[in-house]
Amino acid sequence: MEIFDDPRRDIPQTYIPRSCPGMRTQGFEMVTLRVGTQVLGQVRDPKLERRVARAVDAVMTRYWNPEYRLNNEALTHDYERPEDENEDFIYLGHAIETLWMVMAEAVRVKDRGLFDLAAERMGRHIEVAWDDVYGGLFRAMRVHGAYTFDKVLWLQEEALIGLLMLMEHTDLEWPAQWFDRIFHYVQEKFCLRKHGYPLWIEAGDRKVTFRPHSARKENYHHPRYLLLNLLAVERMIERGGAASALWG
């Protein structure tokens, strides 16, 4: 944390339009939040509780841009909106991924208000990220520019984690509708079974065009998605498909 809070810290972030010393990124809070929620599910640690609360506040208050109704990815060291090309840069993938992690933290502390707000904002980012022409979710955009016109598996799967979490703990209809749409898109476009391979396309162009060779096998997002959602499905089956009693 001392490194993150150092205004002189200069660690280039290649996925952001302009990287600068001391810059704050939503991606850092994302990792901090997920690790913290998991640890606090096992042990009590007041210092870590405070750090996780800080991460939640950053994601829900500081990175949230009320004008765009989307989360910025990069802020100045003082958590201000940058006056450069980062100002309208939205990394939709991180926003969707981070917001389900806020939902998971809300489940841990049983905060229904936080859960509902994070769910609403995740849905907003999914709607904005959806490609109405070819299907699937775009990972990034400039509000006053264009989308990043490629497709990555990890983003689709992070959305599916959050949507299934909503299906498990609420009786809302829209999460199931979006889950069905994205799940079938992933099976059609990213699964390589029809090409004779027991693997998945990790990233591709806008149409996810098949190419016979790959430089990487996804070793992080994909197994996490499978494990978390299989566990969620098992719990839902045990309850006969009924929403959990988390909120009474």
CA distance 36 to 140: 26
Question: Is residue 4 over pLDDT 80?
Answer: no
Mean pLDDT calculated for residue range 142-156: 97
Whether the CB-CB separation of 109 and 50 falls below 8 Å is answered with no
CA distance 37 to 59: 14
Question: Is residue 49 over pLDDT 90?
Answer: yes
Q: How many CB atoms lie within 10 A of CB 194?
A: 9
% pLDDT > 70, the chain: 100
Question: Is residue 212 over pLDDT 90?
Answer: no
Mean pLDDT calculated for residue range 179-202: 95
Topology, domain 24-238: Glycosyltransferase (1.50.10)
Mean pLDDT calculated for residue range 215-241: 94
The CA distances from residue 58 to 7, 24, 28, 32, 72, in Å, are 17, 10, 10, 11, 11
Q: Torsion angle, CA of 72/58/81/87, rounded to 10 degrees?
A: -10
Buried b (16+ CB within 10 A) or exposed e, 25-37: bbbbbbebbbebb
Question: Is residue 1 over pLDDT 70?
Answer: no
Mean pLDDT calculated for residue range 153-161: 99
pLDDT tens digit sequence for 115-145? 999 999 999 999 999 999 999 999 999 999 9
Question: Is residue 2 over pLDDT 80?
Answer: no
Name which of 235, 212, 113 is nearest 165 in CA terms: 235
What contacts 114, CB < 8 A, 6 or more positions away? 56, 60, 102, 105, 106
pLDDT tens digit sequence for 55-75? 999 999 999 999 999 999 999
The pLDDT assigned to 8 comes to 80
The pLDDT assigned to 207 comes to 98
Average pLDDT of every residue of the chain:
95
Give 40's Cβ-side CA count (13 Å radius): 21
